[in-house]
Amino acid sequence: MNEPTTAATSVPTDSPAPAPAPASAPAPAARAFRLHYAWVVAAVALLVLVGSAGFRSTPGLMMDALNSEFGWSHATIASAVSVNLTLYGLTAPFAAALMDRFGVRLVVVCALLTISTGAGLTVLMTQSWQLILCWGVLVGLGSGSMAGAFATTVSGRWFKARQGLVTGVLTAGGAAGNLVFMPLLARLVEQHGWRTAVVVVSLASTVVAVPVLLLMRERPADLGLFPYGATEAPPAPVTDGSALARSLRVLRDAARSRAFWLLAGSFAICGATTAGLVGTHFIPAAHDHGMPVTTAASLLALVGVFDVAGTIASGWFTDRFDSRMLLVAYYALRGISLLFLPQLFAGSLKPPILAFVIFYGLDWVATVPPTVALCRQHFGADAPIVFGWVLAAHQIGAAVVAGLAGLSRDTFGNYDLAWYAAGGLCAVAVLLCLALRRRPTGTAPAAALA
């Protein structure tokens, strides 16, 4: 059967069009498959998220190099990571509102150039506060503007069908960033020094801005389309007023909801047990046991390989199963794996650590699609900004644990206490998710106290 196209644009679509073609128009014998532009936007977003994740992963690779050159302690270097993670999270809800107010393309391009500037200036630093300023503040602000709120905004604007799957794929971009960049940057640090690695990051973040400028579009309506899978146009967006005021208003309303605090608390533990601990300290912890930095970086990249599969599968599961129970399963499995990790480290690559990488990797950020889905269920149109605040909790949890784990390493000479504590935190996250209540089908999302 022939599919009609919109009269407003020549951009093809594989979703239903708003009006049929005139009866007098000749019907072709066969119509070639045409790609909905939503998939082009999703592909550009995926490229941005892959790059952003790779850029943020660099300090963990430089920790031993900076310690050797400047004599800075693990806790001092980790403090820059903590600032980065905190700003990464706190920027997200404001970035979501800024995208509504000024457009996705402008916000993302400015964010990429901020990362480029922060990374580039790092080569000139001689004091630890300069690391905090460049990598903590500038890279943190830039990467935070492309955090989960970006993926939520793109999937929410451009997709009616397949939202969970697209959210999973975009989230998996973070893992793919580690996959692409970690081994390369580790080799650059080892063979050419950490300055070469940060120059590569600076140049790459500038290059990624080019397809954003050329291909990113704001909304399907700009091309005369409906969102993918939609049969009617979504409500007109509200873009007037201050982005700052809207972000704070949404936070005020959401904070009245029991669901918000349960989601924020569990997601803070998610950040603590991924980006804060494993993402920042896995490489130096493995190096403490005699493993070469390049081998440890490859293992962390392998976590990213399996996380791509795990997160995409999680998006598929989220479209079909109870998101609360998915989160319970994910946190429980993660906690078990972290409790075993201290006994698995070795000076060379052995089957037990590979088993951990596979098991833990499948669960790395599989929590994101069901958390986004729960934000949509409870908070409706404000979900991207609410998820931005939930993500802020994620990054604050990551920042706190990144600093505390570095301090633990300096105090006790190993990371064992940090791994065991992380396993215990996952048990707390399980309880928080069990306390979430299902919103009855057909009721309007609300920020009232549940």
Mean pLDDT over each residue of the chain, to the nearest integer = 79
Half-sphere CA count of 296, side-chain side, radius 13 A: 25
List, in sequence order, every residue forming a beta bridge with 228; answer none if it has no partner: 159
pLDDT digit string, tens, across residues 392-411: 888 889 888 888 888 888 88
CB atoms within 10 A of CB 443: 8
Phi, psi of 188 (to 5 degrees): -65, -45
Side chain identity at 320, as an amino acid letter?
Answer: R
Residues with Cβ within 8 Å of 291's Cβ and at least 6 positions away in sequence, in order, are 345, 346, 347, 348, 349
Cβ distance 272 to 396 under 8 Å? Answer: no
308 pLDDT exceeds 90?
Answer: no
Can you tell me whether residue 310 is helix, strand or coil? helix
DSSP string, 179-234: HHHHHHHHHHHHHH-HHHHHHHHHHHHHHHHHHHHHH--S-GGGGT-PPBT-SSPP
Q: How confident is the model over 312-340, as a mean pLDDT?
A: 90
Cβ distance 299 to 286 under 8 Å? Answer: yes
Side chain identity at 259, as an amino acid letter?
Answer: A
Between residues 435 and 183, which one has the greater pLDDT? 435
Share of the chain above pLDDT 70, in %: 84
Show the tokens assigned to 49: 């998220």
- Res 268: pLDDT: 93
202 pLDDT exceeds 80?
Answer: yes
Of the pLDDT bands very low, low, confident and very high (cuts 50, 70, 90), residue 243 is low
- Res 240: pLDDT: 53
Of the pLDDT bands very low, low, confident and very high (cuts 50, 70, 90), residue 438 is low
CB atoms within 10 A of CB 32: 6
Side chain identity at 110, as an amino acid letter?
Answer: C
159 pLDDT exceeds 60?
Answer: yes
pLDDT digit string, tens, across residues 335-354: 999 999 988 888 777 888 88
287 pLDDT exceeds 80?
Answer: yes
Between residues 177 and 283, which one has the greater pLDDT? 283
Helix, strand, coil abundance in the chain, percent, nearest 5: 75, 0, 25
Cβ distance 24 to 46 under 8 Å? Answer: no
CB atoms within 10 A of CB 190: 17
DSSP string, 37-66: HHHHHHHHHHHHHHHHHHHHTHHHHHHHHH
List, in sequence order, every residue forming a beta bridge with 159; answer none if it has no partner: 228
